[in-house]
Amino acid sequence: MSQTVDRALSILPLLAEGPADLGQVADRLGVHKSTALRLLRTLHEHGLVYRQSDQRYRLGARLFALAQEAMENLDVREIAHPHLVRLNESCGHTVHLAVYEENEVLYIDKVESRYPVRMYSRIGKPVAITVAAVAKLLLADLPEHERRAVAEKLDYPAYTSRSTPNAGAFLRELEKVREQGWATDLGGHEESINCVAAPIRGADGRVVAAMSVSAPNVVVTADELLTLLPLVRRTADAISGEYSGRTQVKGTE
Amino acid sequence: MSQTVDRALSILPLLAEGPADLGQVADRLGVHKSTALRLLRTLHEHGLVYRQSDQRYRLGARLFALAQEAMENLDVREIAHPHLVRLNESCGHTVHLAVYEENEVLYIDKVESRYPVRMYSRIGKPVAITVAAVAKLLLADLPEHERRAVAEKLDYPAYTSRSTPNAGAFLRELEKVREQGWATDLGGHEESINCVAAPIRGADGRVVAAMSVSAPNVVVTADELLTLLPLVRRTADAISGEYSGRTQVKGTE
DNA sequence: AGGGCTGTTGCACTGTCTGCAACATTCATT
DNA sequence: AATGAATGTTGCAGACAGTGCAACAGCCCT
């Protein structure tokens, strides 16, 4: 909508790939060097871009600070955190908290497993949306037309032989998840990792977040992990209760 | 330099304070609502801004992703992390890693204390630059004129009675730190918290990062903490060695 | 129904962004 | 040391993209 801003913002993902010099930035934007220079300068003044000593540009420090502040404003996270820690203390496995936002599901909190074998994931990183248990819960709660629209648009990478193969299968899975009120991912992302997940609901009953417990086969089998389901659901419900009981109303988000 | 981009970027810190609606954004930018709308739309398309169901705007998800990617490009961090964890395992206290960037020092990694009493700090958050041990090390390594320039510009908040009071005292402290090759903060930020820090150097000898161990008085006294200095320095040197031994040269940064 | 509030669109104007070309600077090469 | 290439930087005139206005649409509250 705004050409100048559009160009400036396009620089950020570009620099996320790694440092680049003025010429490279100008080329990839398809603009004159002088134009790129001015854009970079503006980004620089706002601290979003940093100029290292070899003159190349990199993403800057304020970006961290902004992202951190944004995190803190997510009040589900704040409320949920102690519950997640307690759950981790009682079962020992990795616990995740995730939200849905504009066709993406992302982890907003994580408590690491206390076992030496840990699964790889990172706060802020988009989740494998077609297979993750938390993603299923979050998508299952969307209004039907939107759910369908999203499902059609997605890619269905075959991470493993048990990954969701296509939109049809995914929508059927979502329907099932919607009815039972919990979800699993049994080796759909990483062959040897299983997850159980439960939804966190706001006062109006809509799913605002989802949490999961994940563990690799070498630590517990899928069946053993499933025995944790009641505990996971209780934890999720406790968070839901606390979240929706708040005086301050922040919409259904 | 670029008015439009400047305005658009000014929206981000504004939203970091909390969600805001169109009118509020327009007011605080001092522009017409329609202008604010177009800027927000552009930010939205790039995922930096999210529109919640009550129509208000918030910082968006891509911001996290960007910040995370930016983190990963800091290779000191990657190299240092396992060392920090090991140090934490052997002493139990909070371990921090920080870098200097454009008049700011910020934490880029942290391993939490294993004691119940923890100090407050956050990755991505600017450090109390006039008192933190890591800040002293990073500033002490700047070329003299720059160091002086930065010191003059800073504010010297009196967090405690032992905080650095003014530029003169700070520059003297930096000189001392520079010579001895390590730094402390003994209750200069929080009355009851002490830190010991050591520098991490690149191949050319310049300080690229600094690490510290922090602990509250209730856990160990300042003297006890100081006995960890050799260990902290050894850890920092190990990281320095690994960092500067790399084949891939990324400038002195 | 009516009035107030917020978000949205179309349009004419002007101011800001653009690309160019000339200049500055650093670095490599002879 | 001097030349050349490559990169970053500045001033300028023209043009186009961004601006504010005013009118419209939708919503909630009375």
Q: What pLDDT, on the 0 to 100 scale, is given for residue A205?
A: 83
Count CA atoms closer than 13 A to B186's CA, side-chain side: 9
Count CA atoms closer than 13 A to B169's CA, side-chain side: 9
How crowded is residue B168: how many other Cβ atoms within 10 Å of its Cβ? 11
C-alpha distance from B248 to closest chain A C-alpha (Å) = 13
Rounded average pLDDT per 10-residue block, chain B, 253 residues: 93 90 92 93 92 85 79 77 92 91 83 60 74 96 88 92 94 95 94 94 86 92 94 96 61 37
Is the minimum distance from the CB of B37 to strand D below 7 Å? no
Fold matches, B3-66 and B74-244: no
Encoded amino acid at A75, one letter: D
C-alpha distance from A146 to closest chain B C-alpha (Å) = 14
The token pair that represents B223 in the structure block: 């003297």
CA distance B7 to A118: 43
Encoded amino acid at A104, one letter: E
- Helix B75-91, helix B229-244: angle, nearest 10: 150
Q: Which residue of B has its CA nearest to A37?
A: B1
Nucleotide nearest to B55 (CA to C1'): C7
C-alpha distance from B36 to closest chain A C-alpha (Å) = 11
- Strand, coil or helix: what is A253? coil
Contact B16, A64 (CB under 8 A): no
Q: What pLDDT, on the 0 to 100 scale, is given for residue B202?
A: 83
Question: What distance lies between CA A137 and its chain's CA centroid?
Answer: 13
Contact A167, A156 (CB under 8 A): yes
How crowded is residue B128: how many other Cβ atoms within 10 Å of its Cβ? 18
Q: What pLDDT, on the 0 to 100 scale, is given for residue B121?
A: 53
**CA distances to A62, A73, A106, A114, A121 from A98, in Å:** 24, 15, 5, 20, 12
Rounded average pLDDT per 10-residue block, chain A, 253 residues: 92 90 92 93 92 84 79 78 92 91 83 61 74 96 88 92 94 95 94 94 86 92 94 95 61 37
Q: What are the structural domain ranges in chain A? A: 3-65, 74-244
Contact A62, B117 (CB under 8 A): no
Considering only residues 47-66 of chain A, list those whose CB is below 7 Å from strand D: 55-56
User: B250, B194, B245, B196: which is closest to B217 by C-alpha?
Assistant: B194
CA distance B2 to B32: 18
**CA distances to A53, B82, B97, B99, B119 from B140, in Å:** 18, 26, 16, 13, 25
Q: Which nucleotides of C are covered by protein (CB under 7 A)?
A: 6-10, 16-21
**Which CATH code, of 3.40.50.300, 3.80.10.10, 1.10.10.10, 3.40.50.1820, is assigned to A3-65?**
1.10.10.10
Q: What pLDDT, on the 0 to 100 scale, is given for residue B72?
A: 67
Radius of gyration of chain A (CA): 21
Q: Which residues of A touch B250 (CB under 8 A)?
A: 19
Q: Bridge-partner residues for A210, per DSSP?
A: A98, A199
C-alpha dihedral, B13 to B19 to B25 to B28, nearest 10°: -60
Count CA atoms closer than 13 A to B138's CA, side-chain side: 27
Judge: A68–B122 Cβ closer than 8 Å, yes or no.
yes
Judge: A59–B70 Cβ closer than 8 Å, yes or no.
yes
User: B197, B200, B212, B178: which is closest to B244 by C-alpha?
Assistant: B200
Give me the CATH topology for the region B3-66.
Answer: Arc Repressor Mutant, subunit A (1.10.10)
Q: Answer positive or negative: Cα dihedral of A89, A90, A93, A94.
A: negative
How crowded is residue B60: how many other Cβ atoms within 10 Å of its Cβ? 22
CA distance A219 to A116: 10
Percent of chain A with pLDDT over 90: 58
How crowded is residue B96: how many other Cβ atoms within 10 Å of its Cβ? 24
Encoded amino acid at B208, one letter: V
Q: Which residues of B touch A69 (CB under 8 A)?
A: 16-17, 59
Alpha helices in A73-203 (DSSP H): 75-91, 133-140, 144-153, 167-180
Distance B2 CA to C18 C1' (A): 12
CA distance A76 to B51: 17
- The domain made up of B74-244 is a member of CATH 3.30.450.40: yes
B149 CB-near residues (< 8 Å, 6+ apart): none
Judge: A38–B125 Cβ closer than 8 Å, yes or no.
no
Q: What pLDDT, on the 0 to 100 scale, is given for residue B124?
A: 62
Distance A36 CA to D10 C1' (A): 14
Distance A204 CA to C21 C1' (A): 63
Q: Which residues of B touch A52 (CB under 8 A)?
A: 251, 253
Minimum-distance CB partner of B251 among A54, A59, A102: A54
C-alpha distance from A222 to closest chain B C-alpha (Å) = 30
Minimum-distance CB partner of A122 among B56, B68, B104: B68
Alpha helices in A46-143 (DSSP H): 62-72, 75-91, 133-140
Residue that is written with structure tokens 């299952």 in the block: A140
Q: What pLDDT, on the 0 to 100 scale, is given for residue B247?
A: 35
How many Cβ pairs within 8 Å bridge chains A and B? 179
